[in-house]
Structure formats: structure tokens, C-alpha cells
Amino acid sequence: MDLSALPQGIYKLINLRHLLFPIRWGKISIPQGVERLTGLWILSGLIAGRGSSKLGYLRKLNQLRGSLELFLGESTELEDLVDAKKAELRNKIYIQELSFYFGRREVGVDIMEALQPPPNLHCLRMVGYKGTQLPVWITTSLNYLRVLRFVGFYKCSYLSPLGKLPMLEKLEISFMWSMKYVGNEFLGIMETIQELPNAGPAFPKLRKLCFERCQEWEKWEDITGDEKDHLLIMPCLRVLKIIGCDKLKALPHCLLRMASSLEHLTVRSSLGLASLYGDRTGDEWDKISHIPHIKVESLEDINRRRLLLRNELLFRYKVIEADGCESGQSSGDTSGGSLC
């Protein structure tokens, strides 16, 4: 059965607690009336703007709990903004995990500001965001956030002061296409540097940090001067991974030394860093060699693996091409020539 919409009379199930269905992007719409299900605990997904689905339907569903997935980017901007304000996500105090998935159309930062989550949220995921800046509430209202994932940001070129998040334990940033520079504002300490030595810690609870496939990223600003003697940065960091960031030229050596608990550093498929640290010798290597467990892929390993991958793709293409030719000949081609 190919379900494309929920029954119009579903709102009559006033004691319904769980509304679960397989989500396929752009396939399922939620009918008007679902907002009457005020006792609903679990809603597996809402595609805003598809059919009759509206973010505003969430307004009275304050018993929702666990995880909530919202698919955005189908309505007009004005409709989205009005609906976003009606949703009143901040009142859904039992939701612990929230995921935003964005469609082809850009969702403005004003809409995202209106979609402020409840303050006790534990996990936030944003996938496919096309805005140029992040909403302010990410760093000002989520004091209990533990996990944060950014995936596939197309236009956002800088990171908010995420170091201000007091409970954040895991941060993953991947496919951030426009980011070229990560400055100290990322640490959330720029306002407090002027107040040394009373500056608060940056990322006080962070245990794992991962950057992946940020292909335009060139520089990660380091801590310099008197700052390093008075600041506390990432005191709980255990794991740092950098994968597929070819243009990144160097690691922030002083910052990594200040992350006194760092035990595991993994650098993979990153040409710039491989050329600097891949030989595991020299002055640059000495600046990170204090980390107990380091895995840095060498230039030779990267080039060898990429060559193997290209050869494998070429082989598969030739197999598909040959299969196509044989299929054409066996289906009645009697002209004596090849279709390819």
C-alpha cells in the first residue's frame, strides 16, 4: 500500500498516543484536525507545506515527547513564518530530540528563530540548511543540549559561538560547503577575552568533535599571546576527527595542547594535513605528538586509496556499458552495428 495521506477523520481518535508511519520525503501529508489530538505523545514526522500539512498543527500538541522530525521547505516564506510562530515548539517541554530536514527552497533565519525548541532539548540535528546564518537560540537558549549535528549546510560560512553551550558533549559538522574559516568566535570566548583572567571555559563538557567533508575549509584559528595562559578550552575533549577536509592547512596547536584530556586524534583523507603531519616527523609533528593516540593518513595512502577508488569506478562503468551493449544486441538488434 502506497500511503500518501492520513485519513481526514483521524482527529476523532481523541485517545491516540502514537502516530507512526514511514516517512518518504514529499509523500505523506497530515490532514487538518490532527491538532485536536492533544494527548498525542509520539509523532514520527511532519512535512510542512506538503498537501494540507502545517507546522501550526503542532501548537496544542504539548504532550509530544521523545524525538520529533520536521521536514521544511515546501510552503511559501510567508506561510512558513506564520506557521512557525503558531507551532510554539518552545512549549513542547517533553521533546528531547529534534531534527530539522530542509527541502530545496531556502528557509530564512527569521523562520528558524520562530522555531525555537524547548530549553531542555538534549539533541538537535539540522540537515540541508540553506540559510546564511544560524538562529540565535542555538547558543542562548539550549543550556541542556548534549548532541549537536550540522549536515549539508550550503550557504552558511561561519559557525556560531557554540562553545557557550554548557552541557554539549558531542559536536558533528559535515558537508558545510561554504565554510572557509573557523575563528575563535566558535569557542564563544570573544566577549570574555577582554575580561581576562576571569573568562569562562569554552566547550566545558565537550567530549567528541568531528569535522567531515568541509571541502572549502582552509584555516582553524589558534589561540595566541596571553590568551592561552588564562583560558580554559575543551577540558573534557577526548576525541577529535577531521575527515575529508583537503584544504585545511594546519591544526590549532596551542588550542589542542589546552585540550588537556585529548586522547584520540584522527585525520583522514585530508591532503593539507597529510602533507604537514603524514610523515610523523619534524617540527609540525612535534606540536601534536603529545596526543597519546594519533592516526594521520599519509599522502601516499590517500593517493593510493583514491586511485583504487577511481579504478573501481571505471571498472564498474565499463561493466555497465558492456551489459548495455549485450542487452541491446540480444533484444533484436540485427543491424550489425553496436548501440554503444
Residue 327's pLDDT is 61
Domain ranges of the chain: 8-327
Residue 68's pLDDT is 87
Multiple choice CATH, 8-327, 3.30.70, 3.40.50, 1.10.287, 3.80.10: 3.80.10
pTM above 0.85, yes or no: no
Residue 66 has φ and ψ, to the nearest 5°, of 75, -120
Residue 255's pLDDT is 94
- Asked if 162 contacts 189 with a C-beta cutoff of 8 angstroms, the reply is no
Q: Which residue type does 298 have?
A: S
Q: Which residue type does 138 have?
A: I
CA 56 – CA 25 distance, rounded (Å): 19
**Positions of the chain with pLDDT lower than 50, given as ranges:** 1-2, 25-27, 51-52, 334-340
Q: What is the DSSP string of 149-212?
A: EEEEESS--S---GGG-TT--EEEEEEETT--EE-GGGGT-TTTGGGTTSPPPBSTT--EEEEE
CA 60 – CA 108 distance, rounded (Å): 24
Grid coordinates belonging to 325: 551493449
